[in-house]
């Protein structure tokens, strides 16, 4: 049997997939997900994606042909209970909106920074009015307890201060998993759409250099954090204003996700090469 040409299109794609899978497999092993369990997840996802893509043409036989998943498994995945608890997503959405509004709404900011808010106030801004401006279906105390538990906000003398303008607190694994799924999922979706399109339409770029001292990378990372935090704040303010204008319009059914990342590691001798940048 002839060996696969590693430089053919399929060979290059396989190498790309293996590189993408390596960090995922690290997470799977750390979470106790074995290879057979992953295979089942992969097969189910193959079926779900094929059904979505094929639409009305998604018969069990057609899905079997497209995916290679046995018809028995296709039938099981399609008739099984696909319901999923949305409680974590709802909680994250409310917390994210509260923090986002605290950072962007002129009522709750001062000189571009989140105000220190009284828990309650007869008039004027307060933490209670902040939460109620987002949702009246959840008690402000519940939101406050969650934000303080995660170290995102603190309560002192009935005044509430925003400590972290991020949302993933060290105490909440569920939220970390939520952002792990949605941030990586949307990034991957943008990358896949760009790969499959003749004219890439999504912003997906990176700059990378090697042959650097650890102290130099630390300095670059500090600057990247400063610039990215400023960029995220500005996009948050712009998006909050646009949402306020659009939310009552019948065509307001689009969403976006904008993110940044920075990764650093010590090079292996075999990975050293010419410094470059990538406009992916």
Q: Indicate if 279 and 211 belong to the same structural domain.
A: yes
What is the residue-level pLDDT of the chain in tens, covering all 280 positions? Answer: 456 666 677 789 999 999 999 999 999 999 899 999 999 999 999 999 999 999 999 999 999 999 999 999 999 998 866 555 566 677 778 888 899 899 888 899 988 889 999 999 988 899 999 999 988 888 999 999 989 888 889 999 999 999 876 655 555 677 788 888 889 999 999 999 999 998 888 999 999 999 999 999 999 999 999 999 889 989 988 998 999 899 899 999 999 999 999 999 998 744 544 444 444 4
Judge whether 153 lies within some domain: yes
CA distance 37 to 192: 25
Is residue 124 within 8 A of residue 108, CB to CB? The reply is no
Judge whether 51 lies within some domain: no
Q: Indicate if 275 and 222 belong to the same structural domain.
A: yes
Q: Indicate if 210 and 158 belong to the same structural domain.
A: no
Cα separations in angstroms, 8 against 11, 14, 167, 195: 5, 10, 43, 16
| SS3 label, residue 154 | strand
Judge whether 12 lies within some domain: no
Residue ranges making up the domain that contains 115: 87-162
CA distance 109 to 233: 12
Taken in order 159, 163, 169, 170, the sign of the CA dihedral is negative
Of 133, 162, 191, which one is at a domain's C-terminal end? Answer: 162
CA distance 179 to 261: 13
Place of tokens 């972290």: 164
Q: What is the pLDDT of residue 141?
A: 93
Judge whether 113 lies within some domain: yes
Q: Indicate if 157 and 210 belong to the same structural domain.
A: no
First-to-last CA distance in the chain? 35
Judge whether 199 lies within some domain: no
CA distance 237 to 243: 10
> Is-above-0.75 flag for pTM?
no
Number of domains the chain is built from: 2
Query: Residue 147: CB partners within 8 Å, gap ≥ 6?
Result: 95, 98, 99, 153
Task: Return the CATH number at 123.
Answer: 1.10.10
Half-sphere exposure for 85 (CA within 13 Å, toward CB): 6
């Amino acid at each position: 049997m002839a060996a696969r040409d590693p430089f053919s299109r399929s060979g290059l794609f396989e190498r790309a997939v293996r590189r993408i899978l390596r960090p995922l497999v690290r997470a799977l092993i750390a979470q106790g997900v074995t290879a057979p369990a992953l295979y089942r997840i992969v097969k189910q996802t193959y079926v779900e994606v094929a059904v979505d893509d094929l639409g009305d043409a998604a018969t069990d036989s057609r899905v079997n042909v497209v995916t290679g998943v046995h018809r028995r498994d296709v039938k099981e995945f399609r008739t099984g209970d696909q319901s999923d608890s949305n409680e974590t997503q709802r909680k994250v959405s409310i917390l994210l909106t509260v923090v986002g509004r605290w950072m962007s709404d002129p009522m709750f900011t001062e000189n571009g920074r989140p105000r220190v808010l009284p828990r309650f106030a007869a008039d004027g801004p307060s933490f209670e009015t902040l939460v109620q401006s987002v949702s009246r279906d959840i008690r402000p105390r519940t939101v406050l307890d969650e934000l303080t538990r995660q170290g995102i906000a603190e309560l002192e003398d009935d005044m509430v201060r925003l400590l972290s303008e991020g949302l993933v607190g060290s105490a909440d694994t569920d939220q970390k998993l939520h952002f792990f799924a949605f941030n990586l999922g949307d990034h991957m979706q943008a990358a896949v759409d760009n790969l499959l399109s003749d004219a890439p339409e999504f912003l997906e770029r990176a700059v990378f250099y090697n042959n650097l001292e650890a102290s130099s990378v630390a300095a670059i990372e500090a600057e990247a954090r400063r610039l990215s935090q400023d960029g995220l704040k500005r996009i948050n303010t712009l998006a909050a204003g646009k949402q306020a204008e659009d939310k009552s319009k019948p065509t307001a059914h689009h969403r976006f996700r904008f993110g940044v990342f920075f990764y650093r590691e010590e090079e292996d001798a075999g990975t050293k090469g010419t410094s470059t940048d990538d406009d992916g």
